[in-house]
Chains A and B, each alone.
Chain A
Amino acid sequence: MPMNKSLSKSVMVAALLAFSFLLACAPGAAPQAAKQELRANLAAEPETIDPNKAAFSTQVTVIKQVFQGLLSFNQDLTLKAVVAKEVPSVKNKGISEDGLVYTFKLRDDVKWSDGQKVTAKDFEYSIKRLLDPALAAQYASFYHDIKGAKEYNTALGTPKEPKKPDEATLKSLRGGVAVKATDDTTLQITLARPRNTFLQLMALWATYPVRQDIVERFGAKWTEPPNYIGNGPFKLTEWVHQDHITLEANPNYWGTKPKLQKIVLRMFTDLNAEYAAYLNNELDMTRVPPGNEKQIIADAQFKTQLLRNNEMVTLAFQFNIAKPPFDNALVRRAIATAIDRETFIDKVRSGVGRVAYAWIPSGMPGHQPDLGKQYKFDVAKAKKLLSDAGYPEGKGLPLTSFQYADTSGNRVIAQFLQGQMKDNLGITVNLEPMETKAFQQLVGQKKFQWSFFFWGADYPDPDNWLPEVFGTDGGNNLTQYSNPKLDDVLKKAAAELDEKKRLTLWAEAEKIVIDDSPVVPVAYRERFFLIKPTVKGLKTTSMDATLPGDWFYAEVSRG
């Protein structure tokens, strides 16, 4: 059968060809980055890159490259003026004596990427747009201390008490927001009550300027290139949804021109895929799949590529203190003392992160290094506390359930806790893994019993850390912790304008919280990245968004 012979021959030839092709292209043909190009993984498609709407770190990483606000942060997280001429203070008359009126003087040489001038009007429009209830911006509530802001932003009420204002009411509410461009280079903002962290809020992405003409012309499509006009060092030139974003140096940039010509932000959703892409030289930086950290630290080649930096993020266990047995502070203290945080860092976090006893992380003003040390791991002490609580050797303690979103990371944490409780206190903890959204709803409705959570900084101040989580009315007070003494101190601290006095008040407040132990801080998070040694001049902060050093990419170069 002639045809059959030729068929088998061709199969063989094809196989041989394929094999020889493999041999010919031996290792070494790895992809290379173009000159002055940075390639990183954003890890997911940013849901939006509208500065007013943004709320998540992937979004902020992009926005920071394309926009610049009145103020920004230095590497040590002190404030610096960017579009503003100087950081307003009482001394330079930028802030009124009573701390209510802020006057920002703008530079007059700031340009949009299409060449138009940036004026105070762009900021006025942006802030009013941010507060527009129809935009439903998630960070709007940060700015409720601006006079008229809360009234406008909450005009539709809450799900429990909805309101139906008419168009005219909304318009007049918008007019009532005390943000005003008095001329092209002066922006005046009046607060309803003093807020000593207001300048830090003005350094966040939500108040970056936005162009009214662009937004009105393109609607929701204004965030697509080439409509996405910003005033920052880079501009958006390409957005292949769910695949990558390309940023290129903005030729019209008014400040020091960036050295990088191009930033490519990929969207590998899988951590192992990101790591493989780095090993194949498709990325210049990568996270490391959990569990590989120790091996990488020991590896001679990887050691030079390691990038570690502390983040202002606290990892903690939280109790629902409205229900027994966690309504008993002695039980909570016993548990806080029975958790071996060193082992947690070493075994659960593979040596990444720092042991935490206090709530406010190191790196933030007001961090108290010795606070909470009474909960240092001590089995005997923990047992005594539990017995004082009325449960000697854990006897008679109601069964407790630990709820968590079922991810591989959380599973290890849950098992660690279960083991610690069994070994150190003789308590049996029932583990309840849940689907992520279901878990979030359960916690939000305060129906959980015991869970793990983390809190990260939006801006470097305890004011972002205490009232929201521990104040009786705090929007993220999920433990249902309530202490009138604490509420009193929190109120005083928030209103105090004197820097020293207010830090003392925050310290006092944090001490009350730690004594009452509605949460058990266990670790401060640390970033663990690999980065190609050819990336020069990366400056990380403890408050970077998705990617390390993303406040300062304009200063990075490839060598």
Chain B
Amino acid sequence: MSQYILRRLLWLIPVLLTLSFITFALMHLVPGGPWDREKQLPPAVVENLNRKYGLDRPVWLQYLSFVANTLRGDLGISYVHQDRSVTDIILNALPITATLGLLALILTVALGLSLGTAAAFHQNSWLDYICVFYATSFASIPGFVLGILMVIIFSVTLHLLPTGGWGTPEKLIMPVIALASIPAAVLARVTRASTLEVLHQDYIRTAHAKGLSQHIILYRHTLKNALIPVLTLLGPEVAYLVSGSFIIENLFSIPGMGRLFVQGVFARDYGLIMGTVLFYAFVVAVANLVIDVLYGVVDPRIRYD
């Protein structure tokens, strides 16, 4: 197993290199650069800026020095926030997005799993109908629409919650719900379906026949097997939640990674774009690896040698 993990981690190196090359090339191919603006800068200022950022050198040399600096852990200075290093900017936004993402993930799992299993155990009861209703309706309401509705109801009308920003726990409530609503709805559906499938298996009937308690049947025999499709779903979900959603972060003015990345692209902040893309790639790869390892834990039939 540890060999498998090591192999997967080593594979990350060529993946990140290729990705950085493609991103770098695309970034320089796109029309418009960091110094283009509505009011033109004098040519001498442009040259001063080019010199400061090494943009006066050939593009291949810029790429090589980017790779060399990155290997030393230096992502350079931002082209927009000229007093701050890219590493510094990312490290500022990362805990914010991670906190938001983890809370949303917890809510997703808690709500999705409990609703899904409860619905499956009470198929065709009112609880099941509520679950199905929730899953269908919330899966089709985009997070930002729900977000705007919550702002109108809870902030503008009832004055219960702040409209946005970061720093106090109450500022987390609406963004976490807006982020988690769709994943939780999807998860509830998948959990319900896979639990129902497991409940109709012979070994569950055997367990009932043996006179095992409901608890044991639920936790030991049903959930564990119902979780495999759920895990498959959670992989990309974790990456999505942890890397941050631009729309939600913009709506609630959250100083996280999603907003940062989009701002970086719009401003052609070459340093910030490279930094965030590499970071995203790393997070997605690691999240997938963790999920793959979890498969093995949940299902002993799955082995990595």
Contact = CB atoms under 8 A, between A and B. Distances in A.
Interface string B245-275: 0000011110100011001001110000000
A141 B164 contact: no
Given A11-B127, A436-B266, A156 B44 contact: yes
Interface stretch (B5-13, B68-76, B82-90): B82-90
Interface stretch (B154-162, B184-192, B199-207, B296-304): B154-162
Nearest to B126: A8
A220 B252 contact: no
Contacts of A277: 155, 162-164
A444 B40 contact: yes
Contacts of A7: 118
Contact of B121 (A4, A221, A281, A282): A4
Chain A interface residue count: which class? 35 or more
A22 B42 contact: no
Contacts of A29: 159-160
Contacts of B155: 276-277, 279-280
B30 A438 contact: yes
Nearest to B250: A270
A1 B39 CA distance: 73
Contacts of B259: 242, 269
A238 to B, nearest CB: 10
B49 interface: yes
Contact of B157 (A27, A162, A243): A27
A420 interface: no
Most buried by B among A26, A31, A242: A242
A270 B144 CA distance: 13
Given A27-B158, A156-B48, A243-B255, A266 B37 contact: no
Interface string B157-176: 11110111111000000000
Given A11-B127, A243-B253, A442 B31 contact: yes
Given A7-B118, A136-B49, A159-B46, A270 B32 contact: no
Contact of B40 (A25, A273, A478): A478
B47 A444 contact: no
Interface stretch (B50-58, B99-107, B222-230): B50-58
B42 A141 contact: yes
B88 to A, nearest CB: 9
A302 interface: no
A25 B166 CA distance: 23
Contacts of B49: 136
B80 interface: yes
A11 B260 CA distance: 38
Nearest to A222: B83
Nearest to B218: A3
B142 interface: no
B81 interface: yes
Interface string B15-36: 0000000000000001111001
Chain B interface residue count: which class? 35 or more
Given A134-B48, A154-B44, A266 B163 contact: no
B151 A276 contact: yes
Contacts of B305: none
Interface stretch (A43-51, A481-489, A529-537): A43-51
A441 interface: yes
A437 B266 contact: yes
B41 interface: yes
A269 B262 CA distance: 12
A268 interface: yes
B80 A1 contact: no
Contact of A138 (B45, B165, B252): B45
Interface string A263-303: 00011111011001101111000000000000000000000
A160 interface: yes
A140 interface: yes
A508 B164 CA distance: 52
Contacts of B211: none
A435 to B, nearest CB: 7
B52 A136 contact: yes
A559 interface: no
A241 interface: yes
Contact of B163 (A26, A134, A276, A443): A276
Contacts of A396: none
Given A141-B42, A266-B253, A268-B253, A438 B48 contact: no
Interface string A155-169: 011111010000000
Contacts of B252: 273
Contact of A223 (B39, B83, B148): B83
A22 B31 contact: no
Nearest to A141: B42
Contacts of B3: none
A276 B151 CA distance: 8
Given A48-B82, A435-B32, A159 B47 contact: yes
Contacts of B166: 240, 243
B214 A220 contact: no
B247 to A, nearest CB: 10
B276 to A, nearest CB: 13
A444 B160 CA distance: 48
A267 B255 contact: yes
B43 interface: yes
B158 A25 contact: yes
B38 A440 contact: yes
B255 to A, nearest CB: 3
Given A4-B121, A162-B47, A241-B92, A440 B214 contact: no
B93 interface: yes
A279 B161 CA distance: 12
A48 to B, nearest CB: 5
A153 interface: yes
B83 A242 contact: no
A475 interface: yes
B210 interface: no
A277 B118 CA distance: 39
B43 A242 contact: no
Contact of A281 (B82, B83, B159, B167): B159
B163 A3 contact: no
B220 interface: no
Nearest to B153: A22
Interface in A125-155: 133-138, 140-141, 153-154
A341 interface: no
A133 B51 CA distance: 9
A159 B156 contact: no
A241 B255 contact: yes
B44 A243 contact: no
Interface of A: 1, 3-4, 7-8, 11, 22, 25-31, 45, 47-48, 50, 53, 133-138, 140-141, 153-154, 156-160, 162, 220-221, 223, 240-244, 266-270, 272-273, 276-277, 279-282, 435-444, 453-455, 475-476, 478
18 contacts: A1-B214, A3-B214, A11-B118, A47-B82, A53-B82, A156-B51, A157-B44, A157-B47, A220-B83, A221-B83, A242-B260, A273-B253, A276-B151, A276-B155, A276-B163, A435-B32, A437-B268, A475-B43
Enumerate the 3 nearest inter-chain pairs by beta-carbon distance, A residue then B residue, closest first.
A437-B32, A242-B255, A136-B48
Given A269-B250, A270-B251, A440-B32, 7 more contacts: A4-B122, A162-B56, A282-B162, A282-B163, A441-B36, A442-B31, A443-B38
